[in-house]
Amino acid sequence: MLGILAKVRDGAPFDTALAQGLGTLPDVDRRLAHEIAAGMLRQSSVLDGVLAPFVARGLHSVDLPILDVLRLGCYQIRFLDRVPPHAAVATSVDLAGEIAGDRVRGFVNAVLRKVSALGPDPMVSLIENDAMRLAVAYSHPGWLVERWVERFGVEDTEQLLLWNNGQPALVVQPARISLGDLERLFSEAGIAAFPAPFGAGLVVEATRPEQLPGFATGDFFVQDPAQALIVRFAAFPTGALVYDACAAPGGKTLGLSRRASGVVAADMARRRMPRLRENIARAGLGHEYPVIADALYPPTRPVAGYFLDAPCLGTGTFARHPDARLRVKESALRRLTSEQAQLLESAADRVQAGGVLTYATCSLEPEEDELQVTAFLGRHPEFERRPPEGFPKELLSPLGDLLLLPQHHGMDGAYAARLVKAG
What per-residue string of b and e applies to 249-285 under the rule 16 or more CB within 10 Å gives b?
A: bbbbbbbbbebbebbbbbbbeeebbeebbebbebbbe
Query: From first to last of its 423 residues, what are the pLDDT tens digits of the chain?
Result: 667 777 766 667 777 766 666 665 666 566 667 777 888 888 888 888 888 888 888 888 888 888 888 988 888 888 876 678 888 888 888 888 888 877 888 898 888 888 888 765 545 555 678 898 888 888 899 999 999 999 999 999 999 999 998 888 899 999 999 999 999 999 999 999 999 999 999 999 887 899 899 999 999 999 999 999 999 999 999 999 999 999 999 999 999 999 999 999 999 999 999 999 999 999 999 999 999 999 999 999 999 999 999 999 999 999 988 888 878 999 999 999 999 999 999 999 999 999 999 999 999 999 999 999 999 999 999 999 999 999 999 999 999 999 999 999 999 999 999 999 997
Number of residues that make up the chain = 423
pLDDT tens digit sequence for 34-68: 777 888 888 888 888 888 888 888 888 888 888 88
Q: Quickly count: other Cβ atoms within 10 Å of residue 248's Cβ.
A: 23
| Residue 119: predicted pLDDT | 66
Long-range Cβ contacts of 132-138 (<8 Å, 24+ apart): 134/158, 134/161, 135/45, 136/45, 136/46, 136/49, 137/46, 137/161, 138/46, 138/162, 138/164, 138/165
Residue 180: the pLDDT is 95
Q: What is the pTM of this model?
A: 0.81
Our CA angle for 399, 402, 407, nearest 5°, is 110
Instruction: Provide the 3-class DSSP secondary structure of residue 411.
Output: coil
Q: What is the pLDDT of residue 317?
A: 95
Distance from C-alpha of 272 to C-alpha of 254, rounded to nearest angstrom: 16
pLDDT of residue 24: 58
Q: What is the 3-state secondary structure (H, E, C) of 145-187?
A: HHHHHHHHCHHHHHHHHHHHCCCCCEEEEECCCCHHHHHHHHH
Q: What is the pLDDT of residues 76-130, one digit of tens each?
A: 888 876 678 888 888 888 888 888 877 888 898 888 888 888 765 545 555 678 8
* Amino acid at residue number 285: L
Question: Can you give the pLDDT at residue 138?
Answer: 85
End-to-end CA distance of the chain: 56
Residue 283 CA neighbour count, 13 Å, CB half: 29
| Residue 272, CA distances (Å) to 247, 279, 313, 327 in order | 9, 11, 18, 20
Q: How far apart are CA 228 and CA 205, in angstroms?
A: 19
How distant is the alpha carbon of residue 51 from its chain centre? 28
Q: How far apart are CA 388 and CA 203, in angstroms?
A: 25
Q: Are 386 and 418 in contact (CB under 8 A)?
A: yes
- The pLDDT value given to residue 93: 87
Angle CA(95)–CA(99)–CA(102) in degrees, nearest 5? 80
Extract the runs of DSSP E, i.e. beta strands, from 226-350: 241-244, 262-267, 288-292, 303-309
Question: Whose CA is closest to 223, among 277, 175, 178?
Answer: 175
Best CA proximity match to 360, nearest among 294, 296, 298, 417: 417
Helix axes 14-22, 27-42, angle to 10 degrees: 150
| Radius of gyration, CA atoms only, the chain | 23
pLDDT computed for residue 352 by the predictor:
97
